[in-house]
Amino acid sequence: MNRRLKITLMGRVQGVGLRPTLWRYATEAGLAGFVRNTPAGVWAEVQGAGDAVERFRDRLRQHPPPQARVEHVATEELPVQPGEQSFRIERSQASGDLLIGIPPDLATCPDCARDIHDPANRRFGYPFTNCTCCGPRFTIVHALPYDRERTSMALFAMCPDCRAEYEQPADRRFDAQPNACPVCGPQLRLLDAHGDPVATAQPLATAVELLRQGAVLAVKGLGGYHLCCAADDDSIRTLRTRKQRPTKALAVMFRSLEDLRAQCAVDDAEAEELRSFAAPIVILRRRPDASLSRLISPDTDDLGAFLPYTPLHHLLLDRLSPLIMTSGNRAEEPLAADEAEMNELLGTLADGALVHNRPIVRRCDDTVLRLTDSRRLFYRRARGWVPEAIRLPFGGPTVLAVGGDLKNVFCLTRQRQAILSQHIGNLDEYASLSFLRKSVADLERLLNVQPEIVAHDLHPDYVSTRFGREQSAPLHVEVQHHHAHAAACMAEHRLPGPAIAVTLDGMGYGADGTLWGGEILIADYRTFRRAAHFKPYRLPGGDAATRHPARMAWSCLVAEEGADADALATEFFPAWPDADRTALRQMVERGVQAPWTSSAGRLFDAVAALLGFTEPITYEGQAAIWLQTLADLTPLPAYPFDLVKTAEPWIISFGPALRAIAAERRASVPPSRSAGRFHRTVAAAVVAACRSLRHQVSINTVVLSGGVMQNDFLVGLLRAALLENRFAVYCHELVPPNDGGLALGQAAVALARFFS
């Protein structure tokens, strides 16, 4: 008996080859009907023999396109329409609310990789090869829906061969908006240090030869420029000197997974992530016998590694592998994405540039993540993931959440969707603030939304707060920094709340006007209370103490060792002038230019300094990263600590641990042992506080958030101990625990306060 079935699919279902896949499955099953894109997803109707319809539905469920992410499928039986003989792909509907959003950029698929390596293929060696399953999306689209005339590929008229592929449903390049070939598509050029064209018929081969000779090149990618050099010591030193990046880890791209495995330990889940459509930078453990330069990541035993994700990368790495690929920018400025910005890199940072003539509409940096127990821990959520929506536990009017000042990412909501922006950067740079302004306006236009609520941080002096207050909207909402962290973790797991929220980070403006950062909150989406926090210490010199960990160590010594602090400081920091130490003691004791902070990040800085990290930091989190790398990972006893419950909020004091660490340093105990014990002490103290709070408030759910939760050793200890104590434990898996996830929490709090 014939039947007709309507199937509606929602999620990441456009720009990923779903329509030609449905056409192929329906045609092979002998079914009639149609498929079309709609503002809400993909709508298909199939008609034919009942068993054939069921086989079609089963095949679609079991074998969707690899890049598709089908979040919801609705089916409806319809009356059979007589006379329909074939299955067709209909034109997209461009009207209505575009709930489907914008597809992310997709890494080169295996079929296209084979094309560029096949001498018999007309795309052999062509660096802009793509198909329906791969290629640029987010970074080339001007407006929605995603069709060629609304992308930067509109500049390139397809040749007859490409046009035939584009219009043939059986072809894997059917409706592939960036479709191109050497005859009709974008082309490479090589520029010298002055921005002048280099006379060469083979710009890619010439670029590789320059890299072999030690040059640093700006290479134009999907969402901006990389600074690229060979992975030898001399080239890396040149890049570091020019970029003024003495020790912060650099990303390294390998030709193949096999090459990467020779340098790093890679498990099955990490291999799958590396080869995924998102092709992120994955933080991996360096093999003990690795031959790769230690200058790539001198502070850690990790490597940020990734595989080629564009045909251009494949062709480069075929000739020279591995290559250092770091963001094409200065310090914390936004990624260079156009020729004017690229020219600023030439002559100072780069000796030349490998460029092409396909405009980048929207800059987007590389995603960086680590896998812990096969779960994603994002450090930066960007290419391949942006602008994929995160489903919220509740909906409401559109919210613009502007995030924080560090690692800025903003968020726009639409019904129950939260769309987070690409990585903006640190807003102390004017260029980053300008990027934020343009990006907010751009995403509002693309999504066709006007915010009714603007959410921002509580800190009155944040650049992001001032920006948020400037935005026109009926409602403005202040959200305390650590409440936003907690709400972000709750929202991504769609938890109902309340939860015990362990939020450990650098510093955020507290409800009492002091600087918080080692917090345990009882939080739901609307409200929170500060149930416990790390013992506060003075921050001598304010922000200067974040750059000089020894200052924080000195503050802790003054508080915990009293009269013995000077003798210890003389022993631990012999190069520190007595006059400087005296001036800082006066700051601490008088509370002048030395605000209180409960920051977990500053506590880690202090312990790092006590154990030997005495230089100023050159990038955020450097001392804590050093301390984690130093730590002995074997089971060790925790130091003593105090959980003071005489008043609320409770105080978690690591004074006993700090005194023990100082004593071990004087006794020449290996610093690695002390570092390992300190990590276990923090975990033990937090778990003890959570257990006591559970007894008090009868809440068994714990969420872990804040920048310190990037420390996978500490998170592993916390999670294991909390699970052992039968807590339900949630860590970030969709957004970073650092301030890159803050906007999601701000948005959730704003919606909950007014509309949930």
DSSP per-residue letters across 8-48: EEEEE-SSSSHHHHHHHHHHHTT-EEEEEEETTEEEEEEEE
Q: How far is CA 201 from CA 157, 184, 196, 205, in A?
A: 23, 18, 15, 9
Confidence band for 93, pLDDT divided at 50, 70 and 90: low
Q: Does the pLDDT of residue 58 top 60, yes or no?
A: yes
Strand order in the sheet with 453-457: 390-391, 417-420, 411-414, 399-401, 453-457, 475-479
Amino acid at 117: H
Residue 270 host element (H or E): helix 268-274
Q: Does domain 534-642+652-697 have CATH number 3.40.50.920?
A: no
Summarised one tens digit per residue, pLDDT across range 543-600 is: 999 999 999 999 999 999 988 999 999 999 998 888 888 898 899 989 899 999 999 9
Q: Is the dihedral of CA 655, 658, 660, 666 positive or negative?
A: negative
Q: Does domain 188-368 have CATH number 3.90.870.40?
A: yes
Q: Are 383 and 105 in contact, with CB atoms under 8 Å apart? A: yes
Q: Which two tokens stand for residue 285?
A: 């453990």
The Cβ of residue 670 has, within 10 Å, a number of other Cβ atoms equal to 12
Q: Are 34 and 5 in contact, with CB atoms under 8 Å apart? A: no
| Spatial CA neighbour of 60 closest among 33, 29, 37 | 29
* 3-state SS class at 513: coil
Q: Is cis: bond before 322, omega within 30 of 0?
A: yes
Q: Does the pLDDT of residue 91 top 80, yes or no?
A: no
Give Cβ neighbours of residue 486 (< 8 Å, ≥ 6 apart). Answer: 499, 501, 503, 521, 523, 528, 703, 705, 745
Q: Which two tokens stand for residue 511?
A: 């409800």
Query: Which pLDDT score, from 0 to 100, does residue 100 have?
Result: 55
Summarised one tens digit per residue, pLDDT across range 412-450 is: 999 899 999 999 999 988 899 999 999 999 999 988 899
Q: Does the pLDDT of residue 17 top 90, yes or no?
A: no
Q: Under the phi-then-psi rule, with left for phi > 0, alpha for psi from -120 to 50, and beta for the rest, what region is 37?
A: beta
Domain chopping of the chain, boundaries: 2-89, 188-368, 389-479+739-749, 534-642+652-697
String of DSSP letters for 656-695: HHHHHHHHHHHTT--HHHHHHHHHHHHHHHHHHHHHHHHH
Query: Which pLDDT score, from 0 to 100, does residue 123 have?
Result: 98
* 3-state SS class at 370: strand
* 3-state SS class at 177: coil
581: phi then psi, degrees, rounded to nearest 5: -65, -40
On average, the pLDDT of the chain sits at 94
| Spatial CA neighbour of 359 closest among 159, 224, 227, 192 | 224
Bridge partners of 74, per DSSP, are 8
The owner of tokens 């329509």 is: 19
CATH of 2-89, one of 3.30.70.100, 1.20.1270.30, 1.10.3720.10, 3.40.50.720: 3.30.70.100
Residue 431 host element (H or E): helix 430-447
Task: Measure the CA–CA gap between 80 and 85, rounded to whole angstroms.
Answer: 12
Confidence band for 700, pLDDT divided at 50, 70 and 90: very high
| Spatial CA neighbour of 250 closest among 314, 296, 305, 284 | 296
Summarised one tens digit per residue, pLDDT across range 613-659 is: 999 999 999 999 999 999 999 999 999 999 999 999 999 999 999 99
* 3-state SS class at 382: coil
Please state the rounded mean pLDDT for residues 19-37: 91
The Cβ of residue 493 has, within 10 Å, a number of other Cβ atoms equal to 17
Q: Which two tokens stand for residue 496?
A: 């109902």
Confidence band for 96, pLDDT divided at 50, 70 and 90: very low
Task: Measure the CA–CA gap between 37 and 755, rounded to whole angstroms.
Answer: 31
Name the pTM for this structure.
Answer: 0.93
Confidence band for 95, pLDDT divided at 50, 70 and 90: very low
Share of the chain above pLDDT 70, in %: 98
Q: Is cis: bond before 182, omega within 30 of 0?
A: no
Residue 580 host element (H or E): helix 578-590
Summarised one tens digit per residue, pLDDT across range 341-377 is: 999 999 999 999 999 999 999 999 999 999 998 899 9
Class for the domain spanning 389-479+739-749 = alpha beta
Q: Which two tokens stand for residue 179?
A: 């479709």
Q: Are strands 302-306 and 281-286 parallel, antiparallel or unpaired?
A: antiparallel
| Spatial CA neighbour of 638 closest among 608, 693, 679, 601 | 679
Q: Are 717 and 379 in contact, with CB atoms under 8 Å apart? A: no
